[in-house]
Structure formats: C-alpha cells, structure tokens
C-alpha cells in the first residue's frame, strides 16, 4: 500500500516536472522567436531528472534508516521494567505483537495495556513519519523542479545534460560486469583465505587424501583436504570427454562445412546444436539411468569391471554434451580460412580430403586449438553430470572404470547451503572454487588469445 | 580527349614492342570450347562461349568486371565444380578429350591444367613444402632427390630460386607479394601442367612486381599454354598473342592481340578499348 | 638425367601414368575421410535422438497415475467435533482467526486415516481379510489430508457419503505398472501379499483406474506422499527467478552493451572490460553459485533458498551472454545507417536510441530469450545457495523458500523410491525440456516475424 502511494507520488511528480519543462520550453520558442538549443522533450526530461533525484534520495534514506528508527521507537514505548524482564526472543515477540496491533489486525490472546498504548502510539508514529517522508520527498522534488525550470533558457544545453545522465546510467550498467568479476574474486579469495587459516595451503594443494570430517568436535578433527584426488578425477573425466567430443565434433564440423549439401546442413546443424541447449542435469540423469548401466553391461560382456557410475560414464556423456560446442567453434574457424587457400589446393589437383587435411586444418590449427581449450575449460567446470554419474569417490587412482570425484562435485558436497561458513568443511568449497576459477580463467584467457591472433592473421 | 589519345598511343607502342605477330597463328589448337554456358542457381553467367586456344602461346581474356572472363577461365580446369549451385553446359576439349566427361578424373585434369590465382595464396607451410605439395600428392617424385630437383627447377623456372635458395624452410607467407605470386607459379609448374590458367595474377601486386611476373609469363610461353585473365588492357597487349574480349557473359570478339587492339571489328570492343565501357 | 619438369609429350604421358597409378588409393582415402565425417554427424544426431527417445520412453508412463475410486462416508462417530466457529459481533480479526485455527486444529487431531480405511474396506470385496496397516499402504498417505480438506471446506458433509478419487500409493502404482518384478518374494516386495492381491482385484473391478497425472502439475513436492509429489512449487520458483532475470539482466545487459559498443572510448579500460566479459561468459556456473553463497547470503544476509538470490545469481550469469549477443547485433548495423542519422544532425544518443537500437531489436530479443532459457536449465549454482532444501509450498513472494525445476529433477533422481521416481524424474525433465523448447520456439518465431517486418 505504502509503496504504491510512493510510486504514485513519484509518477505524478515526474509527469508534472516533464510537463512543466516541456511547456516552458515551448514558451521560449513561441515568445522570443529565438532559436532554442534543445527540443522541448529534452527540457522536460531535464526537469524530470532534476526532480526525481532528490525525491528518490529522501525515500532511499528512509528505506535505509526507517526500520531502525521504528524499532527504537517501539522499544521506547515499552515500560522500562518490562523491557528489563525480556530476553532477546521475548523482546522480538513483543515488538511483533505491537506491530501487529498497530496494523489493526489484532493479536491472539490477552492484550496487555502497555501493548495497546504502544500499538496506538506506533500507529500514529508510522502515519506521521510516512507523511513526513512523503512531504519531504515532494518538497525536495518540487524545489528541484522549480530550480531546474528556472534554468531553462533558449541557450540551456538540456539535450547534452540529459544525454550525459543517460551516459552515466549506461556506464553504471557496464560496471555490473566488472563488479561481478570483482565480487567473484573477492569472495573466493577471502573465504579461501579463511580456509587456509585452518588448513595449510601446501596440505591442500599437494595433499593426496581427501577426507573431510564433519565431526563438530573441533580441534584437529577437521579431516584431510588434499586437492590431488579431485584434480586427478577432474582431469580424467575431462580427458575422456575430449576424446569423445574432439573427433566427433571436429569431423562433424568438417563434414557440415565442406561436404554436406546446404539443405542437409540447414537441418543437421541446428539439431546437433540442440545438444548445447539441453540442461546439464538432463545429461546427468541420462548418464545415471541409461549410459552407466549400459556401460556396466558392456563391461560385463567384455569381462571388464566397469562401474555404472564411473569416470567413463561421466566423461562420455560430458563429451556428448560438448560435441556441439567443439563443432560450432571449429565450423566458425574453418570458415574463416580464406577460400583462396582451398582454391590453391584444388587448383593443384588435390582431392577434397587432401585439401582439408593438408591445407585447411593446418591453416586453422591455432584457432581449433583455441576452441579445444575452451571446450576443456567447459568440461573442467561442468558440475551436474559429474555429481550424478561419476560416483563421488575421492580416491587417487588411475582406473577410468572406477568412480571418481571432481573439484565441482566436492564443492557441491561441501557447501550444502544450510551450513554456516565457520569451519573448513564448508570453507574448503571456496578454496576449490578458487582453484577451479584460476584453471578455467587461465584456459580461457589463453584460448581467447590464440583465437584472436588467428582471426587477425586472416583479416 | 587528349588523355584518351595518349592511352591508345601507349597501347599501340607496347603492342609493337612486346609481340611477335605471326607466332600465335601457326600454333596447333590445344583447347577448344564450344557453346559453354554457366548458371549460378537461376542466374546465367555465361551465354554460349566458343573459342580455340592455341598451344604454347598466351591467350588473354579481357573485359569489364563481371563480364564472365574469370568464370570461363574457371571452367577450363573445372574449378566451378567447387562452387555449390554452379552448372556448366557445352563442351570443352583438351587435346580432343572432353574435360566434362564423367569418366574423366578431375584430379588428373587439374594436374594437367594448373592455375594461379588473383591473390597470392601460398599455403601456411615452408617455401619448399609449398612447391613440393603438388608432386607429393600426385606421387610424381620417386625419391627425395627427385623432389629436390622438382622444387629447385620449378623455383628456377618461376625466377624465384636465387631469391629464396637460402631460406627454403621458411614459411611461404613471409615472402613479399610479388615473390608469393611467383611461388604460386612455381607451385603450379611443379606438377608439370600442360596448360596454366592465370586469374588476374598481378592485380594485387605493385608495378615492379607486375613487370617481373609479366616477363616470367613471356618466358613460360615457350613451354606452356597460358590463358590469362586481366583487367588491364595494357597487360593483355604486353604479354599475349591472342586476346578475347568478354562482355556481359558473351564472347564479343577474339583474335590476334594486335588486331583486337588496333583494328577491332566489333563496336563494343572498340568502345571498351577506347575506354567507353568498363 | 631428364628434366623432371619437361613439358614434352613423352614426359606428359609419363606423368599422367604416375598420377593415374595413385588415383585409386587417393579416391579411397577420400571416401574414407568423407565416411568418417558422415559417421560423426550420424553419431551426433544419434545421440540427440537417443537422449530424447530415452527420456520420453522413461517419462511418458509417469503422466498417468493410478487413482482409487472410493465412497467416503464422513462418519460422525469418527469426526466428533463441534460446529465451525461463527464470527461474533465485536470479535477482533485475530480472535476469530484464532478460533478458526483452533477448530481446524481439532479437526487435524482426529484420526482421518480411519475414514480412509473404512472407505478402502468398503471398496474391497466382502469378507476380504487384510490387516489395517497393509490396507492403508494402498492409498497414498495424503489421502487423509485430502478428505479433511474437503470437510473443512464443506462442514455440512458430516454424516454423508460421497464419491472421492484419491491417489494410489507409489508402491501400489509400481505394482500396477509392473515397475517392480511381480515374481519377487514377499521379503523384497514393498506391499504385503494380501494388499497386492487386493490391488489386482480392485483394478479388475474398476475401483482402481489410471488417469492423467494432474498432480504433477497441481501439487507441490512431497516426501511422505510420493505419489502426489508435483512440480508446482518448483515451477513457480523457476518463474520467479525468470522474472528477476528478465527484469534485471535484460536492461542492464543491453545498456552495458550499448555503452561498450557505442559510447565507450576505445581505451585500455574498455579492452579490459571486453576481455573481462568474455571471460565471465566462460566462468563455470558453479563459481557463480559460490559468489551467491558468499556475497548474497553470507554477506548481505538475503534469505537462504529464496528465488531472489537464485534470480540474482542467474542474472549475473546471464549478463555476459546478453551483452555479447547485443554487442554483436549492434556491430552488425551498417555504418551507412549511422552516418545517415548523424548526417541529419542527430546526436550520438539519438542515433543509437532512435535508429540503431530498433534495427537490432529482433536479434537482441532472440538472444535474450535464449539466455533466459539457458539460465532456466541451470542447476549447480542453485544447489550452493540452498535451493536443494525440501520445500513443500508454493513460493508466494521471491523471498520465500523455494526450489526450481532443474533442482527438483536433481532432488527426485536422488529419491530412494527409485522405481517410482525414475519415471517421475523423466517426466519432470520432459516438462523442463518442453518449457525450453517453447522458449526457443518463441525466439525463432519472433525473430522470423520481426526480421520480415524490418
């Protein structure tokens, strides 16, 4: 209700300000016959911006401080002796009762006399403060409106002023992306730093045992947090995924861009790219209920002991997921190799595959390597497939048929959302996140650099 | 008016100095095209081209841009096959053999009819590998010594050997534009073609590099049948013995270069030579 | 030694011979290479087909569900409560509410299972011997709530008998659908032998029949009554997050793309921002979850498991995608249009907002929808901000506890009652994919419509 009134007030002010600036500007044009610098809309917007800012500042101040002031007021209404007899929980309950009385809804049970008076007082206090805030906002807005209006002359560069405001707003929006990066780095580093006060960085980065203990006895019973088993699991799954995705993705890109009839390409390319749009949780489920059991049965048939949830299962499905990523990037890169190079090979009598293998691919190699690195970074950071299908067994071993755990899986396991960040058990998630962030960032920067160099080469 | 006169005069001068008028007439016919048409999708790019191209002489195709001269050139070694939607009609015969015969292998054809392109396009490999690529895929060298010999003599014939002999293992893309184009010519020669097609080989080069290439073309004429597309009438006059004028997908006039430039029969050819079209 | 490059007739013939000798081998390797390419395409297409067929095959059965058709009598002997409270004059809202709550609490204290049991016995053939606990295992555990709700809504039902459909329990559904091996011995069966034979008889008599599983769409998640677990809560949670993403990510993303592409001076700083955005687009989604946990929950104390936090995290994650796509679209606008606008005396801002932006609108819209669709399918970051908590309510505001469609899938696939929840998880996946396909379809449709108009 209150916010509706405030929004309404702001809208009315805004309309008023715009209209006033607009009409003033029209007045200028008709009265003097001089050339006015800006069009009336800009004068309108100019006054509107001037009006909005002070009004918003006052409302924002109230939104920020209002709760505290109201709280203090309520506490001041409670008799001192009652106040002293209440603990924190009791105080909160009393305050809630008083607030509820003030709304007129009433409370269940007996109402103490001081509660009733406090409730009544609160009601009038709320009404008055609300009025004060509204009036203050309106007065500030109108004062600013009059000031801005008085500044309107034929020579006022209202358009430039309005455009400067737009520019600042746009700049603020682009700052969000930077702030996100800063936020990521700051939160990862600060929480990881807390983690390293419990566990020595060397024990983390070079430890070979991952065995976090959730016992809350404190002391030395934090468990062991060796990164290496997780890193090994991550690398193994990534390797398997790339072994699936690179040959299939690259050959698919080659076929689509060099061999396929354009109508076939128009159908097949979007279908393959569907794979890129499917949520990873779906791939995870597919891996868990279909691919895993299938691989286990195949293993049984071949006399191999393949677990249903294993590095192999997660890796293969992740590879499938990355196929469109590899193929569309490779496709882009192949298309950037100038046609003249291909013509040169054809002109010598090279067959299509000779042209592709001997000329096109070597020319595109840097770009394709860049694309592969991007795919690797994608695989390293992939979470849901691994959570569901890799089996979560953080043990250092080299057998892809066995369950493994990865960095991402352990982040999910350690940070369940409802634990506080007090102990190393949950803080380790940030140390893992930092490791993951650095690995993927390194891969991305390097890959984007390579791809950029490649593009420049043929521009 | 003065400028135009000067242009014609200059053209005549170059014709006089560069050519041997009787040369081309006595040569046997190597390539015959009859009623060649090309469609790109629904658009017709060539309307029935018929021409005879003599052995061991330079024939140049001239005409304003978009006239179909490059399209026709690309028909001769079936490069149009690589363009989706292109359809070629009519017949082109090399030594009496139809090159569009389904039984004929296009790979073999392109080994016999080499091509040099508008923009120098060396492969991103070393100079040596660039030249050796053709012989390697076709299996023309029986040994490393054979290959060395092919590479060296191709580079020699292309007039590039002296300039690059110390850096055969450096990338071909590091050479200057004119050197790159000669490398591409050497690459084409290495396969031992009988015909060399050149699609505006000097359009991306500066005048000095152009002069060197033109000289080279004149030398190559001794051993190869050369067809060159050029947008420069002066170049056609300087290097070729026969000239064909294309306009709007039609072959307007064709004959001994001197005749075309000094005494064109067709009104359109005359207009083009005088600089009124194109 | 002969000249290797001799152009004489003899040399040409020799060379042709050599070339021909290699042709067969070369064409073979050409075919092999092309075949490999085709195989890769077929493999990739096959994966797409396999994935969809597998999900649909697993999920489709879950859209039908076994219902029990019972005659429920609201026996006053069991339902012994006074009449519902009537509001007295001068009674405060809170007091009336309290009286009402007390009445409902009294109702809740009753053993409604007795009503359910009586109805089940009535549905069984006369004289069928079955233990009460075994009998109750046939109906879903929330049947009693359903019947109580009916009574709360209409207290005049007391003493009457009405036809009510309740859900069969998950175990019963497994038995009917054959999800559990019928030949297994009693020890491995979830249901007792009499219950199993009663179910079969009820199916034969039509007292149990399959119907469309509306509960998937109309119910919230449930642990105690798996057969009635639905997606509504998760769906609304997802809607809230989508709303937040659209409201925040789209304007901010488009605005920053406009700034970077049109206004920002080309300097090292803009270069840095560009590199930064490109890298942000490739940061693993789980890292955004960590950011959400540390910044929004631990530092700003926003509520845990709430769509507001999920929405903010997904917004930050989607921003780079929208920025990159919008910049691409702006970059594609022809310089001629810009010069024409500037030449007319428009300011740079006017040129961008009046001329450039309208032209790029279709591509920006499409990119936005695709970005939002991608955010919709994200799971990992939501797990880290507590959205994997079990929530059995529809979130009314974005500050309420909630979960999301992909997280619900994650939760269901982990349910111990595999036989029942595997199909239901697949069904939830079908719903999620359907939503995504719809969004993508809308994007494609809008793009083609708007581009035609432009």
Which residue from C367, C375, C374 is spatially nearest to C446, judged by alpha carbons? C367
Percent of chain A with pLDDT over 90: 37
**Would you call C93 and A249 a contact, using CB atoms and an 8 Å cutoff?**
no
**In chain B, whose CA is at the least distance from the CA of C19?**
B138
pTM of the predicted model as reported, rounded to 2 decimal places: 0.85
| CA–CA dist B223, C103 (Å, integer) | 111
DSSP H or E run through C419:
helix C418-453
pLDDT tier at C84, thresholds 50, 70, 90 = confident
8-state DSSP, C169? P
pLDDT tens, position by position, C181-229: 888 888 888 888 888 888 888 888 888 888 898 888 888 888 888 888 8
| CA–CA dist A230, A431 (Å, integer) | 13
pLDDT at C88: 75
pLDDT at A220: 53
pLDDT at C271: 83
Cross-chain CB nearest to A343 (options B79, B108, B111): B79
pLDDT tens, position by position, C149-175: 888 888 888 888 888 888 888 888 888
The token pair at C404 is: 């999301």
| CA–CA dist A209, A226 (Å, integer) | 5
> With 90 as the cut, is the pLDDT of residue C39 above it?
yes
CA of A329 vs chain C CAs: smallest distance (Å): 14
How far from C383 is each of C372, C375, C394, CA to CA, in Å?
A: 19, 14, 18
Helices (H), C124-267: 132-136, 143-153, 170-177, 193-205, 215-218, 232-258
> With 70 as the cut, is the pLDDT of residue C383 above it?
yes
**Would you call A277 and C374 a contact, using CB atoms and an 8 Å cutoff?**
yes
Token pair 């300000």 in the structure block, residue: A17
- Contact between C120 and C72 under an 8 Å Cβ cutoff? The reply is no
Mutate which: A258, A335, A344, vs B, most B CBs within 10 A = A344
pLDDT tier at A74, thresholds 50, 70, 90 = confident
| CA–CA dist B11, C249 (Å, integer) | 67
DSSP H or E run through A112:
none
CA of A261 vs chain B CAs: smallest distance (Å): 8
**Would you call C379 and A383 a contact, using CB atoms and an 8 Å cutoff?**
yes
- Which of A76-80, A298-302, B18-22, B111-115 is predicted least confidently? B18-22
Higher pLDDT, C119 or A241: A241
What value does the CA radius of gyration of chain B take, rounded to a whole number of Å? 19
Cross-chain CB nearest to B123 (options A261, A262, A341): A341
Percent of chain C with pLDDT over 90: 28
CA of A345 vs chain B CAs: smallest distance (Å): 8
Q: What is the ipTM, given to two decimal places?
A: 0.89
Cross-chain CB nearest to B134 (options A261, A342, A348): A348
Q: DSSP readout, A6-55?
A: HHHHHHHHHHHHHHHHHHHHHHHHHHH-PPPSS-HHHHHHHHHHHHHHHH
Other CB atoms within 10 Å distance of the CB of residue A170: 23
The token pair at A201 is: 């960085």
Mutate which: C19, C20, C27, vs B, most B CBs within 10 A = C19
pLDDT at A350: 93
Could you tell me if C305 lies within 8 Å of chain A, comparing CB atoms?
yes
> With 90 as the cut, is the pLDDT of residue C253 above it?
yes
> With 60 as the cut, is the pLDDT of residue C12 above it?
yes
Mutate which: B109, B192, B196, vs C, most C CBs within 10 A = B192
Q: Tell me the average pLDDT of chain A.
A: 87
A346 neighbourhood in chain B, CB within 8 Å: 79, 82, 110
pLDDT at B1: 40
B59: left (phi over 0), alpha (psi -120 to 50) or beta: beta
> With 60 as the cut, is the pLDDT of residue A1 above it?
no
Which residue from B199, C174, C440 is spatially nearest to A273, judged by alpha carbons? C440
> With 60 as the cut, is the pLDDT of residue B21 above it?
no
Percent of chain A with pLDDT over 70: 94
CA angle A156/A161/A166 to nearest 5° reads 155
> With 90 as the cut, is the pLDDT of residue C91 above it?
no
pLDDT tier at B26, thresholds 50, 70, 90 = low
**Would you call C11 and B146 a contact, using CB atoms and an 8 Å cutoff?**
no
| CA–CA dist A184, C295 (Å, integer) | 9
Could you tell me if A169 lies within 8 Å of chain C, comparing CB atoms?
yes
> With 60 as the cut, is the pLDDT of residue B6 above it?
no
Cross-chain CB nearest to A281 (options C33, C38, C379): C379
Strand partners, A309: none
**In chain A, whose CA is at the least distance from the CA of B76?**
A347
Q: What is the dihedral of CA C2, C5, C9, C15, to 10 degrees?
A: 100
| CA–CA dist A179, C155 (Å, integer) | 58
pLDDT at B90: 92
Q: CB-based burial of residue C94 (10 Å sphere; 0-12 exposed, 13-18 middle, 19+ buried)?
A: middle
pLDDT tens, position by position, B202-255: 998 999 999 999 999 999 998 899 999 998 889 999 999 999 999 999 999 999
> With 50 as the cut, is the pLDDT of residue B51 above it?
yes
pLDDT at C1: 37
DSSP H or E run through A261:
none
- Contact between B128 and B151 under an 8 Å Cβ cutoff? The reply is yes
Burial C382-398 (b: 16+ CB within 10 A, else e): bbbbbbbeebeeebeeb
Higher pLDDT, C106 or B167: B167
- Contact between C142 and C222 under an 8 Å Cβ cutoff? The reply is yes
Cross-chain CB nearest to C5 (options B107, B108, B153): B153
| CA–CA dist A435, A437 (Å, integer) | 5
Which residue from B235, B272, B275, B269 is spatially nearest to B14, judged by alpha carbons? B235
B267 Cβ neighbours under 8 A, 6+ residues apart:
none
Could you tell me if A10 lies within 8 Å of chain C, comparing CB atoms?
no
> With 70 as the cut, is the pLDDT of residue A459 above it?
no
**Would you call C55 and A388 a contact, using CB atoms and an 8 Å cutoff?**
no
Cross-chain CB nearest to C23 (options B107, B154, B190): B107
> With 90 as the cut, is the pLDDT of residue C275 above it?
no
Q: Give the mean pLDDT of A293-319.
A: 93
Mutate which: A333, A348, A365, vs B, most B CBs within 10 A = A348
**Would you call A163 and C349 a contact, using CB atoms and an 8 Å cutoff?**
yes
Q: Give the mean pLDDT of B79-107.
A: 89
Edge to edge, the sheet with strand C208-212 lists C161-167, C64-73, C208-212
> With 50 as the cut, is the pLDDT of residue B180 above it?
yes
**In chain B, whose CA is at the least distance from the CA of C24?**
B105
pLDDT tens, position by position, C284-313: 999 999 999 998 988 888 888 889 999 999
Could you tell me if B138 lies within 8 Å of chain C, comparing CB atoms?
yes
pLDDT tier at A50, thresholds 50, 70, 90 = confident
The token pair at C145 is: 């709530």
Cross-chain CB nearest to A343 (options B107, B108, B121): B121
> With 80 as the cut, is the pLDDT of residue C347 above it?
yes
pLDDT tier at A221, thresholds 50, 70, 90 = low
A362 neighbourhood in chain B, CB within 8 Å: 123-125
DSSP H or E run through C209:
strand C208-212
Q: Tell me the average pLDDT of chain C.
A: 87
């Amino acid at each position: 209700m209150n916010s509706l009134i405030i929004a309404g007030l702001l809208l009315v002010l805004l309309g008023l300000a715009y209209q006033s600036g607009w009409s003033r500007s029209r007045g200028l044009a008709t009265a003097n016959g001089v050339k006015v610098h800006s069009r009336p809309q800009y004068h309108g917007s100019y006054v509107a911006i001037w009006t909005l800012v002070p009004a918003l500042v006052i409302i924002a101040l109230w939104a920020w401080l209002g709760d505290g002031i109201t709280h203090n007021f309520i506490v001041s209404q409670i008799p001192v002796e009652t106040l002293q007899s209440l603990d924190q929980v009791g105080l909160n309950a009393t305050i809630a009762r008083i607030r509820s009385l003030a709304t007129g809804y009433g409370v269940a049970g007996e109402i103490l006399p001081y509660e009733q008076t406090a409730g009544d007082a609160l009601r009038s206090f709320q009404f008055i403060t609300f009025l004060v805030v509204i009036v203050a906002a309106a007065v500030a807005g109108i004062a600013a409106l009059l000031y801005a209006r008085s500044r309107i002359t034929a020579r006022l560069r209202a358009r430039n002023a309005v455009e400067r405001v737009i520019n600042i707003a746009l700049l603020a929006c682009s700052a969000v992306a930077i702030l996100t990066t800063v936020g990521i780095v700051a939160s990862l580093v600060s929480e990881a730093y807390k983690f390293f006060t419990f566990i020595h960085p060397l024990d983390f980065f070079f430890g070979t045992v991952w065995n976090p203990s959730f016992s809350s006895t404190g002391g030395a019973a934090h468990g062991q947090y060796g990164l290496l088993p997780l890193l090994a699991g991550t690398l193994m799954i990534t390797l398997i995924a790339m072994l699936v995705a690179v040959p299939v993705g690259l050959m698919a890109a080659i076929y689509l861009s060099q061999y396929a009839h354009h109508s076939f390409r128009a159908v097949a390319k979007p279908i393959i790219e569907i794979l890129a749009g499917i949520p990873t949780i779906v791939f995870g489920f597919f891996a868990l209920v279909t691919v895993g059991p299938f691989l286990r049965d195949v293993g049984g048939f071949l006399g191999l002991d393949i677990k249903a949830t294993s590095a192999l299962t997660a890796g293969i499905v992740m590879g499938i997921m990355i196929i469109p990523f590899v193929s569309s990037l490779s496709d882009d890169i192949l298309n950037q190799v100038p046609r003249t190079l291909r013509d040169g090979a054809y002109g010598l009598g090279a067959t299509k595959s000779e042209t592709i293998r001997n000329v096109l691919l070597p020319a595109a190699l840097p770009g394709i390597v860049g694309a592969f690195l991007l795919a690797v970074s994608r695989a390293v950071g992939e979470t849901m497939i691994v959570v569901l299908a890799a089996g979560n067994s953080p043990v250092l071993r080299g057998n892809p048929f066995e369950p493994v755990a990865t960095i991402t899986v352990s982040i999910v396991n350690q940070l369940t959302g409802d634990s506080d960040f007090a102990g190393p058990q949950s803080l380790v998630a940030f140390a893992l996140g930092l490791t993951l962030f650095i690995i993927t960032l390194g891969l991305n920067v390097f890959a984007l650099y390579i791809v950029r160099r490649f593009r420049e080469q043929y521009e | 008016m003065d400028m135009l006169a000067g242009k014609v005069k200059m053209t005549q001068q170059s014709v006089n100095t560069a050519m041997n008028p009787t040369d081309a007439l006595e040569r046997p016919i190597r390539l015959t095209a009859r009623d060649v048409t090309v469609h790109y999708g629904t658009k017709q790019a060539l309307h029935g081209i018929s021409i005879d191209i003599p052995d061991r002489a330079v024939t140049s195709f001239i005409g304003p841009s978009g006239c179909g001269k490059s399209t026709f050139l690309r028909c001769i070694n079936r490069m149009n096959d690589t363009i989706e939607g292109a359809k070629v009609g009519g017949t082109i015969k090399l030594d009496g053999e139809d090159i569009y015969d389904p039984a004929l292998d296009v790979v073999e054809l392109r080994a016999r009819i080499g091509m040099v392109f508008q923009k120098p396009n060396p492969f991103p490999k070393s100079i040596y590998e660039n030249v050796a690529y053709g012989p390697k895929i076709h299996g023309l060298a029986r040994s490393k010594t054979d290959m060395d010999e092919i590479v060296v003599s191709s580079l020699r014939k292309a007039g590039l050997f002296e300039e690059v002999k110390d850096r055969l293992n450096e990338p071909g893309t590091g050479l200057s534009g004119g050197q790159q184009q000669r490398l591409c010519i050497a690459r084409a020669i290495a396969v031992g073609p009988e015909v060399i097609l050149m699609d505006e080989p000097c359009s991306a080069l500066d005048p000095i590099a152009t002069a060197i290439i033109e000289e080279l073309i004149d030398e190559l004429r001794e051993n190869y049948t050369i067809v060159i597309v050029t947008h420069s009438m002066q170049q056609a006059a300087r290097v070729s013995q026969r000239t064909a004028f294309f306009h709007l997908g039609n072959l307007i006039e064709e004959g001994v270069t001197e005749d075309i430039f000094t005494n064109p029969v067709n009104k359109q050819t005359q207009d083009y030579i005088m600089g009124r079209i194109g | 030694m002969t000249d290797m490059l001799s152009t004489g007739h003899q040399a040409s013939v020799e060379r042709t011979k050599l070339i021909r000798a290699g042709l067969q081998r070369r064409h073979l390797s050409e075919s092999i290479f092309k075949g490999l390419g085709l195989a890769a395409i077929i493999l990739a297409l096959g994966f797409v087909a396999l994935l969809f067929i597998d999900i649909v095959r697993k999920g489709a059965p879950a859209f039908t569900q076994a219902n029990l058709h019972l005659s429920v009598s609201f026996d006053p002997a069991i339902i012994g409560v006074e009449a519902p409270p009537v509001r007295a004059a001068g009674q405060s809202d809170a007091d009336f509410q309290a009286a009402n709550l007390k009445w409902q609490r009294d109702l809740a204290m009753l053993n409604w299972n007795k009503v359910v049991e009586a109805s089940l016995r009535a549905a069984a053939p006369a004289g069928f011997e079955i233990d009460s606990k075994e009998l109750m295992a046939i109906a879903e555990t929330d049947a009693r709530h359903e019947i109580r709700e009916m009574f709360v809504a209409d207290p005049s039902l007391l003493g009457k008998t009405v036809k009510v459909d309740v859900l069969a329990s998950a175990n019963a559904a497994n038995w009917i659908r054959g999800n559990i091996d019928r030949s297994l011995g009693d020890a491995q069966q979830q249901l007792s032998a009499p219950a199993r034979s009663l179910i079969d008889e009820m199916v034969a008599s039509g007292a149990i029949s399959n119907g469309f599983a509306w509960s998937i769409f109309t119910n919230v998640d449930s642990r105690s009554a798996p057969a009635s677990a639905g997606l509504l809560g998760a769906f609304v949670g997802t809607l809230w997050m989508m709303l937040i993403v659209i409201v925040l990510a789209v304007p901010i993303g488009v605005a920053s793309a406009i700034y970077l592409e049109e206004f920002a001076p080309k300097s090292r700083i803009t270069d840095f921002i560009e590199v930064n955005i490109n890298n942000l687009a490739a940061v693993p989604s789980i890292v955004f979850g960590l950011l959400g946990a540390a910044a929004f929950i631990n530092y700003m104390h926003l509520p845990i498991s709430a769509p507001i936090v999920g929405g903010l995290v997904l917004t930050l994650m989607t921003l780079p995608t929208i920025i990159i796509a919008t910049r691409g679209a702006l970059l594609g606008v022809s310089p001629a249009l810009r010069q024409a606008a500037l030449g007319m005396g428009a300011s740079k801002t006017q040129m961008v907002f009046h001329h450039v932006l309208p032209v790029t609108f279709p591509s920006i819209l499409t990119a936005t929808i695709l970005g939002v669709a991608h955010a919709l399918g994200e799971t990992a970051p939501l797990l880290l901000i507590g959205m994997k908590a079990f929530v059995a309510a529809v979130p009314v505001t974005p500050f309420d506890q909630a979960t999301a469609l992909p997280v619900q899938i994650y939760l269901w696939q982990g349910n111990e009652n595999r036989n029942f929840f595997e199909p239901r998880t697949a069904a939830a996946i079908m719903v999620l994919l359907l939503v995504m396909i719809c969004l993508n379809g809308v994007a494609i449709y809008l793009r083609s419509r708007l581009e035609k108009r432009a």
